[in-house]
Amino acid sequence: MIRPTRLILIRHGEVAEPYHRVFGGRIDMELSARGHQQAALLAKYLRHQPLDAIYASPMRRAQDTLAPLVSLCSQPPVTWPELREVDFGDWTGLSWEQVHARYGQDAFRWLELLEAGAIPKGETGAACRARLAPCLQRLVKMHPGHTVAVVCHGGVIRVLLALALDLPLPKTAAFEIDYASITRLEYHVHRTELTLLNFAPWRELA
């Protein structure tokens, strides 16, 4: 039996409080104390899951989440710039309420607006797919039958899910992607399965 290729998509831990309910995007923010605890519990949970490779965003919050995971893999982690978070353009650093006040937009519709290219000076859905589709293809091609962790961001995970499951990006609004959560994709010969969604060890195993 051919083993599936497993991609373990990991969102970074909780960020510092000033960035809660804020479109952080390309701001290189740090984790909160709770975020570091979440990352440690994530590593503890994954210690029984052999990892053949780890890839990560270069952004600080992802690298801080990665740190306790490094010992779980015999290979050094690889940083890919393409895994950085979505660029929210003029929304960067604004709270959800500020986006509504300044732009008259419902921040909860950000995926629809991203797809439509309606975030001023921000990335479009097409641009996100263009930079992340090659990453997804490389991961699957380079690691057949292996288990690979990808430490990145909520927006990035949604784009990867949309690509892997052939979904319109706004449909991924139906998926919750919590801090320090695990979402797992399995690539079989003729199908791709979503076998775990938004599992947060710090919450589920408390």
- Residue 204: enclosing H or E segment and its boundaries? helix 201-204
Domain count along the chain: 1
Q: Taken in order 77, 83, 87, 93, is the CA torsion positive or negative? A: negative
What range defines the domain where residue 28 resides?
A: 5-204
Measure the CA–CA gap between 84 and 128, rounded to whole angstroms. Answer: 10
pTM of the model: 0.96
176-191 pLDDT, tens digit per residue, is 999 999 999 999 989 9
199 within 8 A of 182, measured Cβ to Cβ: yes
Residue with tokens 């500020």: 98
CATH, residue 137: 3.40.50.1240
Neighbours of 102 (CB within 10 A): 12
25 within 8 A of 86, measured Cβ to Cβ: yes
138-197 pLDDT, tens digit per residue, is 999 999 999 999 999 999 999 999 999 999 999 999 999 999 999 999 999 899 999 999
